[in-house]
Chain A
Amino acid sequence: MNAAALDRFLASVEGRAFRLARYAVRDDDEALDIVQDSMMTLAGKYAHKAEHEWAPLFFRILHNRIRDWHRRASVRRRVFALFRPRAESGQELDPVQLAVDGPHVEPDHVNRMSAAARRLERCLTELPVRQREAFLLRAWEGLDVAQTAAAMGCSEGSVKTHYSRAVHRLREQLKDDWP
């Protein structure tokens, strides 16, 4: 196993992996945990594989960790919903409470972003999960269709469909605010 090559590979993907996870879970700390877990799994189990296999493997692990996170979150929501008092119908939700309970994103990060990037990130978080993954893996990570299919655990046809829909949807949403 070439440790220097693994270090280079992880350094090249860590930022994008972190943000990909953040778009999915909308929480910096959770996203960092997911990336850490993915890196450790790749290093522990797959570092001996050929270097050209690392990218699809890493993003497949990341994809699985994100999916696991959503499953756990779904279970948590269902359990807590059992004990939460039901709101009266028509009652307005407290925006302050929503802000407190909402996703945790570093404010510095938001301030540094340009308006276009902010708009783009918001649109990305609003995309369906599979469309966002297909789009980011293809357009941002630079994986080809076969590698993206391997990373997402689906067929190449599905990747093409998700990617095409994502591009169409993003272009529709960004047409007024896109440079």
Chain B
Amino acid sequence: MTVPDDRQASDDGFAQEVKRVLDGVPLDAETAARLAAVRRHAVERARTYVSYVPPRWVPVSAMAVTLVVLGTALRVGDDHTLPVLEDDALFAAAQERELLEELELLAYFDELDHAG
């Protein structure tokens, strides 16, 4: 929807008139003084305010520390994968048992040879 030019001009004229009337109303002296004091205080704050800008190495260091922590956490996580280690232990134990059985069998054959 477009606003007709004459209405647009009329609205603009009205707005300018409102601005003129509002600008013509002065602030009372007390309020003006309080506002000026507030303004001085704000400017003083801006003057003394020192914004902290982190050095460039901070993000890089943060990234490195994060990677180390993540890596450590993942490795600790690996320690919890016990089933594989348990299987290995059982397998090794089983192999050990078979070896013992073989040794016992060999010893038995030796006994038979000596007896014979």
Contacts and interface: CB of A to CB of B under 8 A. Distances in A.
Contacts of B3: 164
Contacts of A129: none
B15, B23, B24, B40 — most chain A CB neighbours (10 Å): B15
Nearest to B22: A140
Contacts, number: 107
Contacts of A117: 21-22, 24-25
A106 B42 CA distance: 25
Assign chain B's interface to a size class: 20 to 34
Q: Label chain A's interface by main secondary structure.
A: helix
A138 B3 CA distance: 17
B46 A1 contact: yes
B46 to A, nearest CB: 4
B19 A140 contact: yes
Interface stretch (B27-35, B78-86, B97-105): B27-35
B56 interface: no
Nearest to B41: A40
Interface in B1-41: 3, 11, 14-19, 21-28, 30-32, 34-36, 38-41
Top 3 nearest A-B pairs (CB, nearest first) are A43-B46, A139-B15, A47-B46
